[in-house]
Amino acid sequence: MSLPKSVLVTFALALVACVVYGQNQSQVSSSCMGCICEASSNCNTTLGCSTPYPGGYFCGAFLISFPYWTDAGKPVLQNDDPEKKGAFENCAIDLYCAAETLRRYMKKFSSNHNRADCNDDGVIDCVDFAYMHHLGGYGCNDPSIVTTDYYTKFQTCWNVVNGAQPSG
């Protein structure tokens, strides 16, 4: 049911990912980004910013927070100033800038293999990126994530991308 949009978004994100494409597992593939986008907001690319609970402020299809964007090194739209008010929102609601934010965030936190292997399976792959996106790179080792709506959506999308049978 989410396949057509996943494919479209995956295609769009390929524009971002192709710049950094390679068989480097510490980098985020376009299909991985597409599934994290699906999991975050059903990849609603017209989403603005919202405050779902006091102190929580998230923007764009990836539901990026200000601290997350800061950890990613504050990527901005062309000619924007990272220290200017609104630079965060402008980037997070732009699909390409948001994808770049995600890519930089994962690159930063993947450098520490032990910390980045969130599910302790010995490899750092898209599943770990999905954990880190939701739990943060400073402490992503929380198995209870698998019970969340976010993770269920991610897993469904990721299975489709990887050609798994719906029945398992």
Ligand X SMILES: *[C@@H]1O[C@H](CO)[C@@H](O)[C@H](O)[C@H]1NC(C)=O
**Distance in angstroms (rounded) separating the CA atoms of residues 36 and 119:** 16
Contacting range for ligand X; rule: CB under 6 A; set: 40-48, 73-81, 92-100, 134-142: 40-48
The residues with which 142 forms a beta bridge, in sequence order, are none
Helix H segments across 18-124?
Answer: 30-41, 66-71, 87-92, 95-110, 113-116
Structure tokens at 146: 């698998």
Bridge pairing between strands 49-50 and 64-65 = unpaired
Closer CB to ligand X, 33 or 47, in the complex: 47
Footprint on residues 76-135 left by ligand X (CB under 6 A): 107
Q: Which is nearer to ligand X, 88 or 109 (CB)?
A: 109
Distance CA 124, CA 25 (A): 7
Cβ distance to ligand X smaller for residue 123 or 146? 123
The stretch among 7-15, 44-52, 73-81, 134-142 that binds ligand X (CB under 6 A) is: 44-52
Q: Is 43 in the site for ligand X (CB under 6 A)?
A: no
Q: What share of the chain is helix, strand, coil (3-state, %, to 5)?
A: 55, 5, 45
Which residue in 44, 141, 148, 159 binds ligand X (CB under 6 A)? Answer: 44
- Is 26 near ligand X (CB under 6 A)? yes
Applying CB under 6 A, among 46, 144, 147, 167 the residue interacting with ligand X is 46
Site residues (CB under 6 A) for ligand X? 24, 26, 44, 46-47, 107
